């Protein structure tokens, strides 16, 4: 064999080897891409829905913490917003939505499967109030729950909070769409919009940035408090995804990553230090619809305003 022919065969062999390796790598990448789980999640309820980005971060954290067992997963958002009641019902329809974030009720715990670790570590049940600037002096005169019951709360038509408030004697104006809350408050259909201390302030900032309307302000000299976690839900048929999210959430709590996220995320970091809330007056409410299956006796899942940061 001539040197030229030997060289040519060597070059051909090298090219063939490289092509084969490239093909194998591309096939491997395609297989890996095909194995990524797509988790369909709720979109923002409105431009004012500031907590939505935090929910995405927590859900992705839970999925990432369970990658070794279940493989990689990415979140996809529905293109259109729906009210909470409709979103819960859509869980039971294939290929529409996989995960919804919601406060629990006995009905929801029956209709869907929850990952039973609170997304905001129990702080959803601590409620400040969004009010009209012109009513600030009137709210500053409130001294008891009976005084507050002279005012009407704005709440979602399908939110468990509405049932809790009404069960405790607080008048409620039920409203279907989240973005209508501020409109109805501004127009006087209701007098205050109770929001979790983890979300209300950012929602006011988002509303102000979008509308330039400074007639809406935060009032937090008084807080409402009731036991109510924020949970991720799947359909019962998608129990493996619910188990995965719950496992990932538990790991994030025990590693300290969930609390660390709360302390650094733009929407929730203003809650800390928790000690600053101790000077507020707190009106206690009973939640008669709290499911017994929730981990109420697991202190590592629940923050309180009495905790030391």
Q: Is residue 67 part of a domain?
A: yes
Q: Is residue 141 part of a domain?
A: no
Instruction: State how far the alpha carbon of 5 is from the alpha carbons of 14, 16, 27, 174, 245, in Å.
Output: 14, 16, 33, 85, 61
Q: Is residue 285 part of a domain?
A: no
Q: Is residue 84 part of a domain?
A: yes
pLDDT digits (tens, 9 = 90+) for 166-221: 999 999 999 988 889 999 999 999 999 999 999 999 999 989 998 999 999 999 99
Q: Is residue 60 part of a domain?
A: yes
Asked whether the whole model's pTM tops 0.75, one would answer yes
Q: Is residue 41 part of a domain?
A: yes
pLDDT at position 26, please?
46
The strand pair at 113-115 and 73-77 is best described as unpaired
CATH number, domain at 239?
A: 3.40.190.10
User: In terms of residue numbers, what domain contains 67?
Assistant: 36-120+230-269
pLDDT at position 216, please?
94
pLDDT digits (tens, 9 = 90+) for 248-295: 999 999 999 999 999 999 999 999 999 899 889 999 999 999 988 888
Q: Is the pLDDT assigned to residue 79 strictly greater than 70? A: yes
Indicate the number of domains in the chain. Answer: 1
| Region of poorest pLDDT, from 11-20, 176-185, 217-226 | 11-20
Q: Is residue 54 part of a domain?
A: yes
CA angle 209, 123, 119 (to 5 degrees): 85
Residue 128 confidence class, pLDDT cut points 50, 70, 90 = very high
Q: Which residue, chain included where needed, has tokens 């990658």? A: 67
pLDDT at position 27, please?
45
Cα–Cα distance measured from residue 172 to residue 193, given in angstroms and rounded to the nearest whole number: 10
Q: Is residue 93 part of a domain?
A: yes
């Amino acid at each position: 064999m001539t040197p030229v022919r030997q060289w040519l065969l060597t070059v051909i062999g090298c090219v063939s080897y490289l092509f084969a390796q490239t093909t194998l790598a591309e096939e491997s990448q395609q297989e890996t891409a095909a194995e990524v789980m797509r988790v369909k999640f709720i979109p923002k309820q409105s431009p004012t829905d500031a907590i939505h980005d935090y929910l995405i971060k927590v859900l992705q954290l839970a999925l990432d913490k369970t990658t070794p067992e279940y493989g990689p997963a990415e979140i996809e958002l529905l293109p259109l917003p729906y009210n909470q009641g409709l979103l819960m019902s859509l869980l039971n329809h294939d290929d529409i939505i996989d995960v919804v974030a919601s406060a629990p009720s006995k009905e929801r715990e029956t209709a869907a499967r929850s990952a039973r670790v609170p997304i905001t570590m129990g702080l959803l049940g601590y409620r400040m109030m969004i009010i009209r600037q012109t009513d600030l002096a009137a709210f500053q005169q409130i001294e008891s729950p009976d005084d507050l019951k002279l005012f009407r709360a704005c709440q979602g038509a399908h939110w468990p909070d509405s049932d809790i408030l009404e069960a405790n004697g607080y008048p409620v104006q039920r409203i279907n769409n989240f973005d209508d809350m501020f409109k109805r408050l501004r127009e006087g259909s209701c007098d205050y919009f109770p929001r979790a201390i983890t979300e209300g302030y950012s929602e006011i900032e988002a509303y102000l940035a979008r509308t330039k309307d400074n007639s809406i302000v935060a009032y937090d000299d008084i807080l409402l408090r009731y036991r109510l976690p924020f949970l991720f839900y799947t359909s019962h048929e998608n129990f493996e995804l619910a188990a995965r999210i719950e496992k990932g959430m538990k790991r994030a709590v025990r590693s300290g990553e969930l609390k660390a996220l709360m302390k650094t995320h733009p929407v929730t970091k203003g809650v800390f230090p928790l000690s600053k809330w101790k000077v507020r007056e707190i009106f206690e409410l009973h939640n008669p619809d709290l499911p017994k299956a929730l981990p109420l006796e697991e202190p590592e899942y629940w923050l309180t305003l009495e905790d030391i940061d």
